[in-house]
Amino acid sequence: MDTDKALLWQCGKFKLDLSVPKIMGILNVTADSFSDGGDFLNKDAALRQAEQLRKDGADIIDIGGQSTRPGADSISVQEEMDRVLPLVEALSSWDIPISVDTFEPKVMREALAAGASIINDVYGLRKDGALEIIGASDCGVCIMHMQGEPKNMQKNPQYADLLSEVSNFLTTQAKKLELLGVSGNRICLDPGFGFGKTVKQNFELLAEADHFVRIGYPVLYGMSRKSSLGAVTGKENPKDRLISSVTAHLIAVEKGIQIVRVHDAAAMKEALTILNCTQNYKDLG
C-alpha cells in the first residue's frame, strides 16, 4: 500500500491532507434527488446552502445537477450545465475545492474550465472521453462503482464476489488514468454504497471498508440518508436518517476511510471531533 498517496489528495491547486478525515458537503441542484430534490434549484438558495455547508465544516462542496437516485430520469447535458456551471463560477474563488458530481464528459470539461477542482463520477469514467478529460487536466477525481444504470441499478443486483468485483473495477479505472499520466494522488475511489447493491451488500461494503483502503488510493464513502439505512432503522423519510448516516460514516472512518460525503456537515463534523479527541486524548490539555 502506498500510504503517502493515500494521505494526500491533489485536486488542482488544492492539496488535501487526509491524515485528518475530510467532509464533502452535498449540494444537489436537482428537481428529483431522493432526499432534497427541488430544495436548492434556485441559484440564491443554492449559494446560501453552499455557505452553510462551509460554515458547518465541509472541506469540499460537491455540486450535482443530475439526480442519480434509483429510477432517476435523465436530463439533457445542456440543462445539467445550466444548473451547475453558474454555481461553479460563483464558488470557484473559495478557499476550499469545488467538486462536480457528473458522468457527462462535456459537463466535466466545462465545469473544470469554470473552476471546479474535482470531478466525482458515479459511472467511474466509463463514458467515452471521460478518462481523457481527466488526463488533460490537473483536477482530483473520484471514481465510483455502479452496477447497471441509475434507471435500473436496483432491480436485481448480483455479484459472485462483491468485494473483488468492485475493487477490480475501481483499480482498473485508476490504472487507465495513470497510463494517461494522472498521478495516483489525484485519484480517489468510491465503492458506490447504494448504487447497484442490496441492503446486505451495502453493509458488506461498510463492514469491509478497510479492503478498499488497502488498495492504496484515497477512499470516499457516501452513505448519507441512503435507503439501506432506512431499511434497517425503519426511517422511511430520508431526512430522518441523520443518526444512522453519521454512525455509518463514523464506522467507515474508524476503518480508514478518509473522505465522507454527507448532507449534514455540522453533525458529521461534531462526530469526527469526538472521534479525534478520543483517538488523541493524550494531546488534550
Specify the pLDDT at position 40.
66
Residue 236 resides in a domain: no
Q: What is the mean pLDDT of each run of 10 residues along the chain (285 residues)?
A: 70 97 95 55 90 98 88 86 96 96 98 99 97 98 90 79 98 98 98 96 98 98 97 96 98 98 98 96 90
- Active-site residue identified among 5, 83, 261, 269: 261
Q: 72: which DSSP letter? A: P
Specify the pLDDT at position 34.
47
Residue 70 resides in a domain: yes
Q: How does DSSP assign 108-119, residue by residue?
A: HHHHHHHT--EE
Residue 251 resides in a domain: no
**What are the backbone angles phi and psi of residue 120, rounded to the nearest 5°?**
-115, 105
- Residue 192 Rama label (left phi>0; alpha psi -120 to 50; beta): left
Specify the pLDDT at position 209.
98
Residue 279 resides in a domain: no
Task: Decide if 43 is catalytic.
Answer: no
Residue 30 resides in a domain: yes
Task: Decide if 109 is catalytic.
Answer: no
Task: Report the distance separating Cα 211 and Cα 251, nearest Å.
Answer: 14
**Residue 211 lies in domain:** 8-222+257-262
Q: What is the pTM of this model?
A: 0.93
Number of structural domains (the chain) is 1
Specify the pLDDT at position 69.
73
- Active-site residue identified among 54, 83, 226, 269: 226
Kindly calculate the radius of gyration of the chain based on its CA atoms and give it in whole angstroms.
17
Q: How does DSSP assign 195-244, residue by residue?
A: SS--HHHHHHHHHTHHHHHTTSS-BEE--TT-HHHHHHH---SGGG-HHH
Residue 242 resides in a domain: no
Pairing of strands 8-11, 14-17: antiparallel
**Which whole-number Å values give the CA distances from 207 to 22, 111, 147, 210, 284, in the listed order?**
20, 35, 20, 8, 30
Domain with 212 in it: what CATH number? 3.20.20.20
The residue assigned the cell 436530463 is: 75
Specify the pLDDT at position 157.
87
